[in-house]
Amino acid sequence: MIQHTQGSRLEVRGVNKFFGEFCALKDINLTIEPGELVCFLGPSGCGKTTLLRIIAGLEQQSCGTLRQGDVDISQKPPRDRDFGIVFQSYALFPNMTVIDNVAYGLRSIGMPKARVRDRVDELLAVVGLEDHARKYPAQLSGGQQQRVALARALAPSPGLLLLDEPLSALDAKVRHHLRSEIRSLQKQLGVTTIMVTHDQEEALAMADRVVVMNNGVIEQVGTPLDIYQQPASAFVASFIGAMNFFDSAPVNGQRVRLGNRELDLVRPLPATPDGIRLAIRPEDVHLLPQGDGEWEGQVQAMDYLGAFIRTHVRLHGVELDLVVDVDPRSARQLELRVGGAVCLNLPSDALHCFAA
């Protein structure tokens, strides 16, 4: 059995990063618990990779502090920090065999030869590459290279594992497989892990907590479920999954106006002088047989996406377009067809409300 690592706790306090006038990161505060897998998720240019590189010491923050365990690492060079890293390109040393790649970090710290060999064997067994030990990276598939990179990063038993878009260079099938493999390996080792990704599905599937970033700020930190069901901002709501948005106006308390109707909300309204935006996920809209629902509309288009049908409905009276996901069986029961009429409800517990 592979030796367990004690994952370390990481604390990021007030980190800012400027590139000249451009503010790449603005007041980042974040605590990552030992053994946690946290994903930094956001569109390209949101600062997630910069934050990862600052944690690694490959970039210097303009201000702010970093603590790993009890140690202030803010000013330490990468060599004096305790982490392993896997890059998007893997950056495997092409002139070395799998063994030499994995052993590289162990030899740097002067581990005795016999122990290096044992440790490398152990790691190659864990990532399932015993049979490829003497091959060179160019002789391996993308997925195998990825595993070598992972084994190399984990070999010195770092307290922190940093993954920079580790799966984006792979094709979809390998990616899905490696996703669960990395996750179970990480759980087994208990190493604190930060993964940068722009793939929301990946983040939701793997992370204990997701850090959603945009324009250099953290929009929301939460479990995948939190992030999906309770998005803290319109950005998070639109970035993660699909979402319908409508402009609306507050009436009073928890009532809002949509078209010529008023709706009650479960959640309190955001305090904002301007208008508000209502939002609902496509799968949360209830389609009903004709004459049963509060709203009436006409089906404009139907996209068959396999497990469900993405239906575009225009609501009468308010002239709003709504996207509704419906499973094929319900669609048959409702006799959905393009041009046909349909009724629907907008359940108030599924309605989100954001400042405009």
The residue within the footprint of another protein, chosen from 2, 27, 181, 217 (CB under 8 A), is 27
Token pair 């996750």 in the structure block, residue: 183
Q: How far is the CB of 89 from another protein (least distance, A)?
A: 5
Q: How far is the CB of 78 from another protein (least distance, A)?
A: 4
CB of 228 within 8 A of CB of 312? Answer: no
Nearest to residue 164, comparing CAs of 136, 191, 195?
195
Residue numbers 103-122 binding another protein by CB under 8 A: 104-105, 108-109
Q: Is 77 in the site for another protein (CB under 8 A)?
A: yes
Minimum CB–partner distance for residue 61 and another protein (Å): 7
Give the nearest distance from C-beta 95 to another protein in angstroms: 5
Nearer to another protein, 82 or 296 (CB): 82
Please count the residues of this chain forming the interface with another protein, following the rule CB under 8 A.
46
Nearest Cα residue to 147 out of 158, 159, 133: 133
Q: How far is the CB of 14 from another protein (least distance, A)?
A: 4
The length of the chain is 356
Residues 157-196 that bind another protein (CB under 8 A): 158, 162
Candidates 46, 85, 163, 287; binder of another protein (CB under 8 A) is 85
Amino acid found at 25: L
Provide φ and ψ at 327, rounded to 5°.
-75, 155
Using CB under 8 A as the binding rule, whether residue 270 contacts another protein is answered as no
Closest CA to 134 of 180, 170, 99: 99
Select from 32-40, 151-159, 226-234, 275-283 the region that touches another protein (CB under 8 A).
151-159
31 touches another protein by CB under 8 A? no
Gap between the Cα atoms of 278 and 260, Å rounded: 15
Nearer to another protein, 154 or 240 (CB): 154
The first and second tokens of residue 54, run together, are 């600052």
CB of 53 to another protein, least distance (A): 8
* Least distance to another protein, CB of residue 233, Å: 21
133: contact with another protein by CB under 8 A? no
DSSP string across 162-208: EEESTTTTS-HHHHHHHHHHHHHHHHHHT-EEEEEES-HHHHHHH-S
User: Which of 268, 243, 294 has its CA nearest to residue 355?
Assistant: 268
Q: Work out whether 224 is an interface residue with another protein (CB under 8 A).
A: no
Angle at 250 between CA 248 and CA 251, to 5 degrees: 125
Per-residue DSSP letter, 8: P
Give bridge partners of residue 13 from the DSSP assignment: 65
Q: Which residues bind another protein (CB under 8 A)?
A: 13-14, 16, 27, 29, 56-58, 60-65, 72, 75-81, 83-85, 87, 89, 91, 93-96, 104-105, 108-109, 136-139, 152-153, 155-156, 158, 162
